[in-house]
Amino acid sequence: MKIYEITTNQFDYMDILLIGDEEEKMVNKYLKESTIFALYEGKILAAVCAVVETNSDTVEIKNLATYPEYRNKGYATELIDFVCDKYKNTFQYIILGTGENEKTLNFYKKRGFVETHRIKNFFVDNYSHPIIENGKQLKDMIYLKKSITGYSKI
């Protein structure tokens, strides 16, 4: 397993990014300003994480996606750990927004993220079609935050 930092040709990763954010219009809003971290298993792309610097003390994970055949192998956790470690000396926090999916929320909370706020009807107002996860339509965007100052993988 190897993680590469991608700073050019981010659009080459659109197919996997659309797994994490299924509307291309929304991905295009942040892709140009993102750094993509691509996790490869051998020569095969397995997962990606798109990160944007939001201000002087915070970076935001805009997209975290794993191809279905590579899920439940710890790749998303590896990418989160990698990003936290990379930015721990220059930023204080890492944030992300996600839908009202208990499995996803629990995944992030197990990794030290805490809920900070919600944006009501974000998915209803910003997507051209209903976004369904685990049989439930997503409505609100839930923001989570984690301190990464002095981060170390436990």
Could you give all domains of the chain from N- to C-terminal order, each with its CATH number?
A: 2-147 (3.40.630.30)
pLDDT at 130: 83
In DSSP notation, 69-85 reads GGTTSSHHHHHHHHHHH
Are 50 and 36 in contact, with CB atoms under 8 Å apart?
yes
pLDDT at 88: 94
Structure tokens at 100: 């009202």
**d(C-alpha 33, C-alpha 105), whole Å:** 25
pLDDT at 126: 84
**d(C-alpha 66, C-alpha 45), whole Å:** 9
**d(C-alpha 94, C-alpha 96), whole Å:** 7
Flag whether the pTM goes above 0.85: yes
pLDDT at 28: 93
pLDDT at 138: 87
Structure tokens at 24: 């291309």
Are 93 and 126 in contact, with CB atoms under 8 Å apart?
no
pLDDT at 37: 98
pLDDT at 151: 65
User: What sign results for the dihedral spanned by CA atoms 49, 52, 55, 60?
Assistant: negative
Q: What is the pLDDT along the chain (154 residues), one digit of tens a residue?
A: 999 999 888 899 999 999 999 889 999 999 989 999 999 999 999 999 999 999 999 999 999 999 999 999 999 999 999 999 999 999 999 999 999 888 999 999 999 999 999 999 988 888 888 888 888 888 988 999 999 986 666 5
pLDDT at 153: 62
**d(C-alpha 75, C-alpha 80), whole Å:** 9
Are 132 and 80 in contact, with CB atoms under 8 Å apart?
no
